[in-house]
Amino acid sequence: MNGIKKEIKMGREAILQSIKKNKPDLLPLPQINEKAFDEDINLLEVFKNNIALVGGSIKEIETKAIDAEIKTLYPNATQIANTSAKTSLGSIKISKNTDPHSLEHIDLAIVEGELGVSENGAIWVTAYNSIVRALPFITNDLVIILEKDKICLHMLQAYSLIDKRERDFGVFISGPSKTADIEQCLVVGAHGAMSLTVLLV
- pLDDT at position 2: 59
Q: Does residue 191 lie within any of the structural domains?
A: yes
Torsion angle defined by CA atoms of residues 16, 18, 19 and 21, in that order, rounded to the nearest 10 degrees: 120
Q: Does residue 12 lie within any of the structural domains?
A: no
Q: Does residue 147 lie within any of the structural domains?
A: yes
Q: What is the DSSP string of 85-122?
A: TT----SB---TT--GGGGTT-SEEEEE-SEEETTTTE
Which residue type does 41 have? I
User: pLDDT tens, 4-63?
Assistant: 555 566 788 888 888 888 888 888 888 888 888 888 889 999 999 999 998 899 999 999
Q: Which helix (H) or strand (E) holds 172?
A: strand 170-173
Q: Does residue 41 lie within any of the structural domains?
A: yes
- Please state the domain count of the chain: 1
Q: Does residue 128 lie within any of the structural domains?
A: yes
Q: Does residue 116 lie within any of the structural domains?
A: yes
Torsion angle defined by CA atoms of residues 159, 165, 168 and 172, in that order, rounded to the nearest 10 degrees: -30
Q: Does residue 10 lie within any of the structural domains?
A: no
User: pLDDT tens, 106-156?
Assistant: 999 999 999 999 999 999 999 999 999 999 999 999 999 999 999 999 999
Q: Does residue 11 lie within any of the structural domains?
A: no
User: Per the confidence metrics, is the pTM higher than 0.75?
Assistant: yes
User: For position 48, which CATH number holds?
Assistant: 3.40.50.10420
- pLDDT at position 7: 59
